């Protein structure tokens, strides 16, 4: 516990409560995944395609927005490390390779069904509110890490052996999630006006809705 948390019980609450909510939200989204054995070929293609269509072009942009939004040195340094890894190791290219090998490229329809929820997340990102955006990205990284085994299983069932993307993200995102929570604590220590717990979770909720549409389009 830092000195700030000891002397400021409200800030301590704001550190612990969102982490609990996020861990639970990750578990709930994971529990909502359909059994891969019961999916038709088109259903598994669609799920991989929608995931890939959203992640490939947005993940680094959202992490870059997080970098721009934060003020503290600790948060900047942590997110910079994360971004460097994404760019240097060409994670979008890794995901593209995974998707093509699984014969699961996104279609126009896949893009259309996620569009409204995706635009809602983008509008939220544009407001660049550091605490909220850090919680959204912590939720995202935490969920991605848990989702990798499921994604790899679907690709394997589709005859793919290309697993670099899922192998890398099943491991590195554990560290990234912790890094984002540290960044959140550093930003919280600087914050003058901390939004309510409910408001802090705005981005988490918008992203969760998008993930649910990726999993089961309405």
Site residues for Fe ion per CB under 5 A: 86, 91
Smallest distance, Fe ion to C-beta of residue 158, A = 21
Cβ-based nearer residue to Fe ion, 118 or 188: 118
Residue located via tokens 């890398």: 168
Question: Among 87, 18, 136, which Cα is nearest to 144's?
Answer: 136
Looking at beta carbons, which residue is closest to Fe ion?
Answer: 91
Smallest distance, Fe ion to C-beta of residue 91, A = 3
Cβ-based nearer residue to Fe ion, 82 or 160: 82
Smallest distance, Fe ion to C-beta of residue 184, A = 19
For residue 61, how many other CB atoms are within 10 A of its CB?
Answer: 11
Helices (H), the chain: 3-7, 9-31, 41-69, 73-88, 91-101, 108-126, 130-157, 164-190, 197-200, 202-215
Smallest distance, Fe ion to C-beta of residue 133, A = 17
* Helices 164-190 and 9-31, axial angle in degrees (round to 10): 160
Cβ-based nearer residue to Fe ion, 13 or 61: 61
And the tokens for 89? 């190791």
Cβ-based nearer residue to Fe ion, 21 or 147: 147
Buried b (16+ CB within 10 A) or exposed e, 163-194: bebbebbbebbeebbebbbbbbbbbbbeeeeb
Smallest distance, Fe ion to C-beta of residue 4, A = 31
Cβ-based nearer residue to Fe ion, 160 or 166: 166
């Amino acid at each position: 516990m830092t000195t700030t948390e000891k002397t400021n019980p409200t800030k301590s609450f704001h550190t612990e409560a969102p982490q609990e909510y996020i861990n639970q939200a990750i578990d709930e989204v994971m529990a909502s995944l359909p059994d891969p054995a019961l999916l038709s070929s088109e259903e598994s293609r669609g799920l991989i395609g929608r995931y890939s269509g959203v992640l490939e072009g947005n993940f680094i942009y959202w992490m870059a927005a997080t970098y721009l939004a934060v003020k503290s040195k600790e948060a900047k340094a942590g997110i910079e490390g994360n971004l460097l890894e994404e760019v240097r190791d060409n994670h979008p290219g890794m995901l593209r390779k995974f998707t093509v090998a699984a014969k699961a490229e996104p279609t126009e329809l896949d893009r259309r069904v996620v569009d409204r929820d995706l635009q809602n997340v983008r509008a939220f990102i544009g407001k660049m509110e550091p605490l909220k955006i850090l919680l959204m990205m912590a939720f995202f990284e935490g969920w991605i890490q848990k989702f990798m085994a499921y994604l790899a299983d679907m690709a394997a069932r589709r005859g793919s052996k290309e697993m670099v993307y899922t192998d890398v993200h099943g491991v590195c995102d554990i560290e990234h999630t912790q890094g984002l929570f540290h960044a959140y604590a550093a930003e919280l220590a600087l914050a003058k006006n901390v939004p309510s717990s409910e408001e802090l979770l705005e981005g988490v909720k918008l992203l969760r809705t998008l993930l649910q549409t990726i999993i089961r389009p309405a």
